[in-house]
Amino acid sequence: MKPTLLILAAGRGSRFGGAKQVSQMGPSGETIMEYSMYDALRSGFGKIVLVINKEVEEDIKDLIATTKLRSDVVEYVYQDLYLEHIKPEVQKERLKPWGTGHAILAAENVIDTPFAMINADDFYGSEAFKTMADFLSNVAANDASKYSMVGYDLVNTLSDNGTVSRGISVSNAAGNLATITETHGIFEEDGVIYCEDANGNKTKVSEGLASMNYWGFNPNIFEELHSQFVDFLESTPDLTKEEFLIPTVIDKMINGNKITLSVLHSDAKWFGVTYKEDKPIVMNKLQEFVDAKKYDSPLWG
């Protein structure tokens, strides 16, 4: 059975100024999400599940209709599910989604294969999808304790518009994730990558790959997510702000010896949109790919 691709597409794009997942970026009006779907299906994924919310539902379904994909290839779930764990008075005060861990839970009833998770507004590169599909089909499918993430060369994830924050992963001798550190203020200067703290002190970054929220799981993660979400709700001091994030879930599973997580290296160029100023840069890069005959335009023919 082919692996599944889970796309987190319920974001509201407050910093971007709108729903990034349906913003036209490609030469013929394609979204970044469409390139991910296209690359995934060519690389061995068999099904796509989109996590959406009611605010973007109509736009996303209209978009998917233009791809001409069969109805059995794409399925939709809603992040506003699984609120039964949450007290009504807490949910009433909550002004934003509950985070990536909660978003994945929404797909529990429609995924029964090894699966990958990505963001809708990030471009990961076709090579990364091929690497992940191979791992899920040949490793994870035979061992439920085998998880993975795609790690990018840090230089391939930097922004032209200023400093960035990245989860920097370091592997052990077996190629499994040993540590992942959220690092802020990362930039390149004269061919060297640094991170800068709040006081302006800079430190050279010489080790590790960047994690860009591209993970590979087995379906047993859903049981773990339920358990950890309950713990999160009971132990978090301010439930109006904190998010239930997948890196924290994974870290607890690794430390509990429940899984090993392989770091799959990709030398592809990652890019994404956070601010409006990022959009023309992304559009230019996608045009370059089309000019180089890497993608057709229109993408779906």
Instruction: State the pLDDT at residue 17.
Output: 42
Say if CB 27 and CB 286 are below 8 A apart: yes
Tokens of 19: 């729903």
Residue type at 77 in one-letter notation? V
Q: How many CB atoms lie within 10 A of CB 46?
A: 16
Say if CB 170 and CB 179 are below 8 A apart: yes
Which architecture characterizes domain 4-151+211-291 according to CATH? Alpha-Beta Complex (3.90)
Instruction: State the pLDDT at residue 98.
Output: 86
Tell me the whole-structure pTM to 2 decimals.
Answer: 0.91
182-221 burial, b if ≥16 CB within 10 A, otherwise e?
A: ebebbbeeeeeebbeeeeeeeeebeebbbbbbbbbbbbeb
**Omega prior to 298 cis, within 30 of 0:** yes
Tokens of 20: 């990034």
**Residues facing residue 265 across a β-bridge:** 151
Tokens of 239: 């439930």
Within the chain, strands assigned E span 4-8, 47-52, 74-78, 115-119, 122-123, 146-152, 164-171, 177-189, 192-196, 202-204, 209-217, 260-266, 271-272
Low-confidence ranges of the chain (pLDDT < 70): 11-18, 81-84
Give the span between the Cα atoms of 142 and 222, in whole angstroms.
Answer: 18
Give the span between the Cα atoms of 147 and 128, in whole angstroms.
Answer: 15
Instruction: State the pLDDT at residue 81.
Output: 58
Q: How many residues would you count in the chain? A: 301
Give the span between the Cα atoms of 146 and 138, in whole angstroms.
Answer: 11
Instruction: State the pLDDT at residue 14.
Output: 43
Give the span between the Cα atoms of 179 and 171, in whole angstroms.
Answer: 7
C-alpha gyration radius of the chain: 19
Give the span between the Cα atoms of 216 and 118, in whole angstroms.
Answer: 9
Q: Where are the domains of the chain?
A: 4-151+211-291
Give the span between the Cα atoms of 209 and 155, in whole angstroms.
Answer: 9
In sequence order, the 6+-apart residues with CB closer than 8 A to the CB of 181 are: 167, 168, 170, 208
